[in-house]
Structure 1
Amino acid sequence: MIEKWSYRIAAHIHQRVPESSIQVLQFSILALTNMLITFAILGAVGIALQHLPLLWFSIAFIILRFLTGGRHLHSHWACTAFTCLFFTVLSYIEIPVAFWWVVILISCTWILRYSPVLEDHQPRKTESVYRKLKVMAVLFVWLCIPLAYYIHPSFLTGVMFQSFLLTPIGVFIINRLNQRLKGGDAW
C-alpha cells in the first residue's frame, strides 16, 4: 500500500520535474514515510511507557542511519515491528560514563571502516559525497557525548547499535532475519 502511494507521488513529481528519477524519488518518499511511521509509533510507545529515553535512542539511531546507511528487512512492516521491539528493549540500556569514550571510538571506527552500507536498489553517490557523509556521521557521534551527558545516555546506545549494524556481523544478522522471515533456512 505504501509502495503504491509512494510510486504515485514519485510519478507526479516526475511529471513536473522530468529530470528526476521515479525510482530515486519513490525510494526517498518510501524511506521518509517509513521513518515517520516508525518514529510516530516509537513516540507513542515511549509516552505510553513513560520512557522518554526511547525517543533519544531513536533520534540518535535514525540520524546516524541516514548518514551511514544500513541493511533493511525486505518487509516494511517487519522492519517497523522489529525496530519498535529492539528500540524499546535497547533504550533501557544505559552505557556507564566510564565506557562512553570506548563506545565513541568503536562507533567511529566502525563508521569509518564499514559505511556506507547500501541496498542493491539504493541510488549510488560519488565517493566525495560518501566521505562527507562519513565526516558528518563521526561529528554526530561526537555530538552525542554532550547529548548523553545533559539529556540521557541512550543517545550513545542508539549510536552504538546503528554502528554495530554496519559491521559484517550486523549485516549478516539482518540478512538472516530476511531469510527467516521469508521462510528460508536461516539458522
Structure 2
Amino acid sequence: MIDRWAYHAAKHIKQVVPQHSASLAVLTFSLSIVINTVSIVLVTIFLSLLLGTFKQSMIIMVTFAILRMFTGGYHLKSGLHCILVSSLLFVLLSIVTLPTIYCIIFTCMSIMLILYYAPSNIDKHSRIPKTYYIWLKVMGCLLVAVNLVVLSLPFALAFFVQAISLIRRR
C-alpha cells in the first residue's frame, strides 16, 4: 500500500517535472521512506495523545531512531506492518513502569547485544563503508552507556527493543 502511494506520487512528480534527475524507481523508494517515517510519527503522536503518554512516546521513538541510525536492525517486509508495529511498540513501551534496577539491566543487556550484533542489516540500507562499521558499534555502545548515568526507563526500553532488532541468524 505504501509502495503504491509512493509510486503514484513519483509518477506524478515525473509528469510535472519530466527533467527531474531522479529516476522513477529512486523517487518511489525515497517517497516510500518519507511516507513510512511520517506515518509512524503521526500514528505514534495520535495514539500517545489518546493514552496521555505523549512525552514518553516521543522520547522512546526518537531514542529508538537515533540508535537505529548507528546500529541498523531488522526491517519488516511491509511498510504498513512497520508503521503499525513501530507505532504500537513506542506507545506500549511508554506505559511501562519498572523499578530503576530494570533500567540498569536493560541498558547493560543492550550494550552486550550491540557489542555482539551491531551493525546489523545496514549493508543494503546504507552507503557507509564497512571499514567504519566498528565506529558505528562504538557510537551505539556509547549512546546506550549514557543511560547508565541518566537512568531513564524510556531510554532503556527503547535501546533494548532496538538492540533486540539487531539479532539475526548467521
Q: Same fold (TM over 0.5)?
A: yes
Count of residue pairs brought into register by the alignment: 163
1:50 shift after superposition: 1.0
**8 A Cα contact 2:72 2:119, kept in partner:** yes
Q: Equivalents in 2 of 1:60, 1:141: separation in Å?
A: 10
Q: How does 1:135-146 map to 2 (within 5 A)?
A: 135-146=138-149
1:101 aligns with 2:104: yes
Q: Equivalents in 2 of 1:133, 1:54: separation in Å?
A: 25
1:90 aligns with 2:115: no
- Gaps (5+ residues) in structure 2? none
1:74 aligns to what SS in structure 2? coil
Q: How does 1:114-153 map to 2 (within 5 A)?
A: 114-118=117-121, 121-149=124-152, 153=153
CA RMSD, Structure 1 to Structure 2 (Å): 3.3
Q: How does 1:1-40 map to 2 (within 5 A)?
A: 1-4=4-7, 16=21, 27=29, 30-40=32-42
Does the C-alpha gap of structure 1 residues 108 and 123 become closer, same or farther in structure 2, counting only changes over 3 Å? same
1:15 shift after superposition: 5.0
Provide, for residues 77-126 of structure 1, a one-character-per-residue CA deviation record: whole Å limited to 9, x for no partner.
11111222222222222342123332222111111211222167434532
- Gaps (5+ residues) in structure 1? 172-187
TM-score, length-scaled by structure 1: 0.69
- Percent identity (aligned): 25
2:46 aligned partner, one-letter code: A
Q: Equivalents in 1 of 2:156, 2:38: separation in Å?
A: 21
